[in-house]
Structure 1
């Protein structure tokens, strides 16, 4: 269970709370220009979300399944993990994504059901296998929010009437964005994430982040400790302890990755 949003203002602000049961999670540099957060399941690491140096973000959030979105093979059937790889590796450029989605059928991988917020500097989409897609033009606003219920099923309804898993978090973020007064900044984004943190239950918040594509930087916190902020900079491929730490530490990221448990040691 997760909460994510994108806001397009003078800069683009992409935020996400990664809520998942206790398990190994790592941050990985894929190639030279892609950052992924991966979680371990059944002995293997799988991507949960990622972003690239060009400013594109994509996540994979749990959502209730539907028959039309189930995995199948067929002409022009594209499963979500291929879409994830193609988007973040830039084989599909965001300005061409709308046409791509019109010409292909997006399905899930076997035994999984996810949907995605795909966001960039100017374009953003919500993609839900077996359901409709949304973009900024169709929602007629400069932001999008995604949690764990199928948004496109309720795209014509008032946001306050949203129902399903994560609807409370969806409504809360929607209202905070709509009612925000003053300049937007990282602190405001983290405040919204703080308000939707999950401390208890099966899916506590493990990782919270704000990605600003124009800065090529990702700001993140661990285990809902918003007093201590890390930063990843695509230009240097380094993570550094940015705020709230007694000592300054830097880690160079590689394709081997670094476990969040290693970073937690500095908290």
Structure 2
């Protein structure tokens, strides 16, 4: 189901808990500088979220469908996977995103209903919701944004505790944590927030948790709710390394073929 956030201070911190049923998951490179997290379904790999070396992040989180956001073709219609590809490839920069959205109708792909947090350095964040529009954190005068699995466009005039729908409990926890710590936010604080909102039981346990710092070109991540062991990925070297909590250091060069979460978990032994 997923929880994600972006915090804009002197640096940008983007975080996400990737919550999904047990299935093959892998990290892979695409294009010149894209890191994608892919989920396996019916023998195929589909993007769940990703980020690039320019410092842009975009995810695809479940949300209740809305008729106006269902897939359809049209002159100005753009489906979410096309938007995902354009954003992460760099064809569409975050600075140009709002003007682009004003002239387009964003739809879902057939059979899915998602909304997306798109965030990058330079205080650029927007939530895109097919059939509902877009929400920018600056509209509420904040330095951060949180996204779970209910529509944010439905809570524009509500307090953060007056929300309902899938993930509202996780939303409230994350919002409270960010409100309390945004002035002195750190990577460690990001992982503490993710640990507060992690899902260990139910249909959608947390499979991967990450904190991305665009200005550093570095992604830190934990696997399957084990926050005692932290990995890192550098866009400068395209290397995944052990960063914290491992008995011995390990590393590998990430490729287009990718590496599975199961293989990375074997580093813990």
Verify same fold: TM over 0.5. yes
Q: Which residue of 1 aligns with 2:209?
A: 208
Q: Which moved more, 1:184-193 or 1:136-145?
A: 136-145
Q: Which residue of 2 aligns with 1:170?
A: 171
Aligned with 1:261: secondary structure?
helix
Q: Does residue 86 of structure 2 align to residue 86 of structure 1?
A: yes
Q: Which residue of 2 aligns with 1:67?
A: 67
2:182 & 2:63 partners in 1: Cα distance? 32
1:89 & 1:205 partners in 2: Cα distance? 27
124 and 182 in structure 1: CA distance in 2 versus 1, 3 angstrom threshold: closer
Structure 2 length-normalised TM: 0.98
1:137 & 1:15 partners in 2: Cα distance? 19
Q: Which residue of 1 aligns with 2:188?
A: 187
Any residues of structure 2 matched to 1:19-38 within 5 Å, and which? 19-38=19-38
Aligned with 1:111: secondary structure?
coil
Quote how far apart the aligned CAs of 1:94 are: 1.1
Q: Which residue of 2 aligns with 1:4?
A: 4
Q: Does residue 42 of structure 2 align to residue 56 of structure 1?
A: no
CA contact (8 A) 2:9 2:183 kept: no
Aligned with 1:227: secondary structure?
strand
Q: Which residue of 2 aligns with 1:140?
A: 141
4+ aligned runs moved over 4 Å, structure 1: none
Q: Which residue of 2 aligns with 1:250?
A: 251
* RMSD, aligned CA: 0.9
Q: Deviations over 1:76-117 (max 9, x none)?
A: 000000000000001111111100000000000001000000
Q: Which residue of 1 aligns with 2:108?
A: 108
Aligned with 1:265: secondary structure?
helix
2:7 & 2:145 partners in 1: Cα distance? 7
Q: Which residue of 1 aligns with 2:128?
A: 127
Structure 1 length-normalised TM: 0.99
Aligned with 1:226: secondary structure?
strand
Q: Deviations over 1:224-250 (max 9, x none)?
A: 111100000000000001110001000
Unaligned runs of 5+ in 1: none
90 and 143 in structure 1: CA distance in 2 versus 1, 3 angstrom threshold: same
* Residues matched between the structures, number: 267
Q: Which residue of 1 aligns with 2:228?
A: 227
Q: Does residue 157 of structure 2 align to residue 159 of structure 1?
A: no
2:158 & 2:231 partners in 1: Cα distance? 38
1:189 & 1:88 partners in 2: Cα distance? 23
2:104 & 2:90 partners in 1: Cα distance? 17
Quote how far apart the aligned CAs of 1:132 are: 2.1
1:176 & 1:13 partners in 2: Cα distance? 14
1:184 & 1:60 partners in 2: Cα distance? 25
Quote how far apart the aligned CAs of 1:138 are: 1.4
2:14 & 2:138 partners in 1: Cα distance? 18
